[in-house]
Structure 1
Amino acid sequence: MRMTVSILLICDDSSMARKQLLRALPADWPVAIAQAANGMEAMAILRQGQTDVMLLDLTMPEMDGYQVLTALQSEGLSCKVIVVSGDVQEQALQRVMALGALAFVQKPADPDLLRQTLERLGLLANSASELAVQALGDDSAINFFDAFREVVNVAMGRAAALLARLLGVFVQLPVPNVSLFEVGELHMALADAQRGGGLTAVCQGFIGSGIAGEALLIFHDSEVGDMARLMSGFSSDYSEIEMLLDLSTLLIGACLNGIAGQIDVQFSQSHPIVLGEHASIEELIKLNRPRWKTTLAVEISYSIEGHHIHFDLLLLFTEDSVALLSNKLAYLMN
């Protein structure tokens, strides 16, 4: 006896993430598939009342996964939800389960683990169906920026999970921004981020398989002391400089390792250096203008929930690195 064909909704702002999920789905699962690029699109589909199962991302623009789960509860809509996210903080798992999700799957979804999850929840057919998910998938090519943004999304989630465990906090994650800048445009972008206050930054170079760049961990001066106190606990001997160096080693290292693991490279990192302590953005740009030139810039803006602490992680890849990254990502983009 065959299972009645179900409707599966894949909700993720990344076209590459949706494509990865389509590839990871069991080929013998008889489902019709709908896709949504954010929570608002998903809710419009869910309100039609025909969706049986949803694979839901958490970090999205317009309306994130937490808001979708909350809306499902408040509107009394029935849909079995499996969260598929790069935000692997323990609190993220606890929160989505409390909001009604049935399971949590880490990005990128492993096909075997996804099948096991679907089987455990009783969502798979007992026998194969001619309605294979591959026939319903989207075979369109993925552009470089979307592919790399999704790789960064997974990496930043792993870095946040390390910080969350260390400090016993919840780290609020953004949608990462990936852009190609000339040095003048980068100057303007950083100046806008400064919002009139002084900045303190830690710089750390990296290189691997010809892919090279600089990582910058940037704090507004007013928040450096707050972060130092949070990381030091009750120790009065932990200086702000020690905090900056330790935090940069943790976050930059974890983020680069997360990227490296997905594109099969190994990055070597230089020792972190505090750039222009309490310097203006103009001083930071002047110090680094010869190295940045045209750069692929990745911006991740972290926030610590319950604290007035925000900081930016910038990964600045050299112009020559873009072609090498494209080659590494080719198998994900096609």
Structure 2
Amino acid sequence: MHTAVLICDDSNLARKQLAKILPQDWQENLYFAGHGAEALAILSKHAIDWLFLDLNMPVMDGYQVLAELKKANTKTKVVIVSGDIQPEAYERAKALGAIDFIKKPATAVVIQQLLQRFSGSTNPSQSADKVTKVLQQESIELSFEVRDVLQELTNIAMGQAGDLLARLLNVFVKLPIPNVNLIEVSELHMALASVEQEASTAAVCQGFIGGGVSGEALLILTESSYKDIANLMNYHGALTAKVELELLMDISNILIGAVLKGLSEQLDMAFSQGHPVVLGQRETVSDLIKANTRRWRKTLAIELTYGIENYDISCDLLLLFTEDSLKTLNYKVAYFLEG
């Protein structure tokens, strides 16, 4: 009887990558789900031996799936495959019954070690296909495939940044799904509507460039976040403008640096970062963006929103790539796609 396997991840890329490195004899009874509710529906109809489960997904996340499976006392072996590598994410998943926790992107070696520990199998698939075609988009476009890959690469990078922040502040960082869009700069404020809401904000802008790709990283922090960040960093003095600026720079250094590092490692290109510039304090997001509208016509915008559980802390990180960068990214992304 063939082993039945379910891969649950909202990223099509992640599902494909993982499927390719599973044992060859597992390929004949393989199921896929794009979110937790879909996974539970499949589990209710089929006897699944192994479930490879992402944590951060729409509709129903991995924690909710684990909780449901724990109540049902299922015999399915659940392995978390996630870019959220915070210690508390690992602990929560294990407490809910996951037998192991794999950092994205999973590799054939890691899968082989996993199977040796839990099933004695030593035959991971060697069918990792080489790319047989390259995306050559001369026009400024963003295909579904490219968006999916960029979203997954960013998801992994933001997980690394969240882990650094979680360890520094000893908290649990909430990591939503990144938003990837090609937009007119005149419409950029629409992508930020979720963070504006009449709140005063401050922002740090830092340029980056490398290997035919360039852009600006924009970190936006709401005014209400400063007090809790100061407490978490064990600062108990008066929150002067100078102190708030230092807190803003500390957070931006962690998140911008870690996300760009994570992306550069996956794309195999080194980014040089410019000096950070404070765009404003006590200004709205629209005011901050308006000052830069003349610099961009269209931008590939990747929006990441970080929150900290049980604290009134929220910050948005925007990666704004130039139009000229998209062609290079298309070539890079092609190596993550099947031919």
Q: Flag whether TM exceeds 0.5 (same fold).
A: yes
For residues 28 and 90 of structure 2, the distance between their equivalents in structure 1, rounded to whole angstroms, comes to: 26
Q: Specify the SS of the correspondent of 1:332.
A: coil
Structure 1 residue identity aligned to 2:300: L
Distance 1:27 1:6, change over 3 A: closer
Following superposition, the deviation at residue 39 of structure 1 comes to 0.3
From 208, 211, 230, the equivalent of 1:228 is 230
Q: Which moved more, 1:223-232 or 1:193-202?
A: 223-232
Partner of 2:161: 159
Does the 8 Å contact 1:22/1:133 carry over to 2?
Answer: no
Does the 8 Å contact 1:32/1:133 carry over to 2?
Answer: no
Q: Specify the SS of the correspondent of 2:187.
A: helix
Partner of 2:138: none
For residues 274 and 257 of structure 2, the distance between their equivalents in structure 1, rounded to whole angstroms, comes to: 11
Residue identity (%): 49
Partner of 2:50: 53
Q: Which moved more, 1:145-154 or 1:220-229?
A: 220-229
Distance 1:134 1:110, change over 3 A: closer
Distance 1:323 1:184, change over 3 A: same
Q: Specify the SS of the correspondent of 2:81.
A: strand
Partner of 2:333: 329
Distance 1:191 1:11, change over 3 A: closer
Partner of 2:16: 19
For residues 12 and 192 of structure 2, the distance between their equivalents in structure 1, rounded to whole angstroms, comes to: 28
Partner of 2:61: 64
Distance 1:77 1:28, change over 3 A: closer
1:299 aligns with 2:332: no
For residues 8 and 28 of structure 1, the distance between their equivalents in structure 2, rounded to whole angstroms, comes to: 11
Following superposition, the deviation at residue 113 of structure 1 comes to 1.1
Following superposition, the deviation at residue 286 of structure 1 comes to 2.3
Q: Specify the SS of the correspondent of 1:6.
A: coil
1:43 aligns with 2:40: yes
Q: Specify the SS of the correspondent of 1:155.
A: helix
Does the 8 Å contact 2:4/2:26 carry over to 1?
Answer: no
For residues 100 and 148 of structure 2, the distance between their equivalents in structure 1, rounded to whole angstroms, comes to: 26
Following superposition, the deviation at residue 231 of structure 1 comes to 2.5
TM-score relative to the length of structure 2: 0.89
Distance 1:28 1:7, change over 3 A: closer
Q: Which moved more, 1:193-202 or 1:208-217?
A: 193-202
Q: Specify the SS of the correspondent of 1:239.
A: helix
From 133, 150, 155, the equivalent of 2:152 is 150
Partner of 1:257: 261
For residues 179 and 332 of structure 2, the distance between their equivalents in structure 1, rounded to whole angstroms, comes to: 20
1:118 aligns with 2:115: yes
Partner of 1:205: 207
For residues 17 and 322 of structure 2, the distance between their equivalents in structure 1, rounded to whole angstroms, comes to: 28
From 75, 78, 84, the equivalent of 2:75 is 78
Structure 1 residue identity aligned to 2:303: E
Structure 2 residue identity aligned to 1:95: R
Q: Which moved more, 1:274-283 or 1:43-52?
A: 274-283
For residues 76 and 206 of structure 1, the distance between their equivalents in structure 2, rounded to whole angstroms, comes to: 49
Following superposition, the deviation at residue 45 of structure 1 comes to 0.6
Q: Specify the SS of the correspondent of 2:45.
A: coil
Distance 1:244 1:178, change over 3 A: same
For residues 29 and 116 of structure 1, the distance between their equivalents in structure 2, rounded to whole angstroms, comes to: 16
Does the 8 Å contact 1:7/1:50 carry over to 2?
Answer: yes
Unmatched runs of 5 consecutive residues or more in structure 2: 136-143
For residues 192 and 43 of structure 1, the distance between their equivalents in structure 2, rounded to whole angstroms, comes to: 30
Unmatched runs of 5 consecutive residues or more in structure 1: none
Distance 1:43 1:207, change over 3 A: same
Q: Specify the SS of the correspondent of 1:43.
A: helix
Following superposition, the deviation at residue 134 of structure 1 comes to 5.5
1:214 aligns with 2:216: yes
Q: In the TM superposition, what are the counterparts of 1:278-317 in structure 2 within 5 Å?
A: 278-317=282-321
Distance 1:219 1:99, change over 3 A: same
**Paired residue total:** 323
For residues 35 and 273 of structure 2, the distance between their equivalents in structure 1, rounded to whole angstroms, comes to: 36
For residues 248 and 329 of structure 1, the distance between their equivalents in structure 2, rounded to whole angstroms, comes to: 26
Partner of 2:245: 241
Following superposition, the deviation at residue 30 of structure 1 comes to 6.6
Partner of 2:277: 273
Q: Specify the SS of the correspondent of 2:94.
A: helix
Does the 8 Å contact 1:90/1:161 carry over to 2?
Answer: yes
1:168 aligns with 2:170: yes
For residues 249 and 286 of structure 2, the distance between their equivalents in structure 1, rounded to whole angstroms, comes to: 22
Following superposition, the deviation at residue 228 of structure 1 comes to 2.9
TM-score relative to the length of structure 1: 0.91
